[in-house]
Amino acid sequence: MTQAETNVHDVDLGKASLAHYFRNYEEFLGPLRALPLDFLELGVAEGGSLRHWESWLPQAQITGIDIKPCPISFASGRVKTYIGEQQDKAFLDRVAAERAPQGFDVIIDDASHVGQLTRISFWHLFEHHLKPGGLYVIEDWGTGYWTQYPDGRKLRQRPVDFGWHEKALTRLHGMAFLHRAGFLRKPIGWLRWNMVRSRHRSHDYGMVGFVKELVDECGIEDATHPGFGLGPQRVSRFEWMRISLGQVIIRKARLR
């Protein structure tokens, strides 16, 4: 972890969306609350969230990871914390072998909020240490819009309208003389068709870019379609993904 990466955690995340996060947790974890879940949280800070999970999930075995030691202890004996980096795959393998050799049921990433680090731990844990049907939650992906973060970039919003060239062609296409000079209708129609092939270029820095990569995984069956995409075709590793305000929740596909 570089100095820059460490300092960004001093940034106030201003979690106005906390209530919304908990509504999502209620919806997706609520039905599982009484189960003996294997639960992993990346980024535990002072241990506040681990305390919450310890009481909210009374049967769960809870594991926390952070680059700093967790300053509090846990009475239940069900919580264990480890010091290490989320992007260290060998470290994650060691923790998983000790705490959840069959895989975790739930993984929450509230650690660096840096795209590349989140991406490395996501794909490694998702592939190797999350059970089929398990849930993976990524918090605070909006840091990708913040320049306080090493990989964040401000969003420049684009107007939702046709460009001047599309508007001009549409006007031209509608002009009465074109209907008389029928030979022009076809090339102008062709131009209009090709002009709406516009790309919707958008910001892909940091966490925001990573979330958009996850969208690609949702669309992978179409992206690898034998007729229209780039093969070999495969199905998505996700059963579904919900992107919401600051939070992404993914259910891993079950074995087919």
Ligand X SMILES: C[S@@+](CC[C@H](N)C(=O)[O-])C[C@H]1O[C@@H](n2cnc3c(N)ncnc32)[C@H](O)[C@@H]1O
Question: Does residue 49 interact with ligand X by CB under 6 A?
Answer: yes
Task: Please report whether residue 43 would count as binding ligand X according to CB under 6 A.
Answer: yes
The minimum distance between CB 1 and ligand X, in angstroms, equals: 5
Is residue 54 within the footprint of ligand X (CB under 6 A)?
A: no
The Cα 226–Cα 234 span in angstroms is 10
Position among 54, 66, 105, 109 found at the interface with ligand X (CB under 6 A): 66
Spatial strand order of the sheet with 130-139 comes to: 79-83, 61-66, 38-42, 104-109, 130-139, 247-252, 238-244
Q: What residue ranges in the chain does DSSP mark as E strands?
A: 38-42, 61-66, 79-83, 104-109, 130-139, 238-244, 247-252
What Cα–Cα distance (Å) separates residue 63 from each residue in 81, 116, 249? 6, 23, 19
Identify which range of 21-29, 38-46, 168-176, 247-255 contacts ligand X by CB under 6 A: 38-46
Site of tokens 């002072």: 46
**Encoded tokens for 103:** 């895989």
Q: Is 15 in the site for ligand X (CB under 6 A)?
A: no
Number of residues engaging ligand X in binding (CB under 6 A): 19
Pick the closer one to ligand X by CB: 99 or 192.
Answer: 99
Nearer to ligand X, 79 or 117 (CB): 117
Chain position carrying tokens 């059963």? 239
Q: Which residues are bridge partners to 83 per DSSP?
A: 66
Instruction: List the one residue out of 90, 74, 91, 73 whose CA is nearest residue 82.
Output: 91
113 is an active site residue: yes
- Residue of 9, 52, 113, 129 with catalytic role: 113
Q: Smallest gap, in angstroms, from Cβ of residue 149 to ligand X? A: 11
The answer to whether 66 and 81 have CB atoms below 8 angstroms apart is: yes
The residue among 85 and 105 lying less far from ligand X, judged by its C-beta, is 85
Site pattern 101..130 for ligand X (x: CB under 6 A)? ---------xxx----x-------------
143 contacts ligand X (rule: CB under 6 A): no
Among 1, 120, 155, 218, binds ligand X (CB under 6 A): 1
- Positions touching ligand X (CB under 6 A) are 1, 9, 42-45, 48-49, 65-68, 85-87, 110-112, 117
Which active-site residues does the annotation give?
A: 113
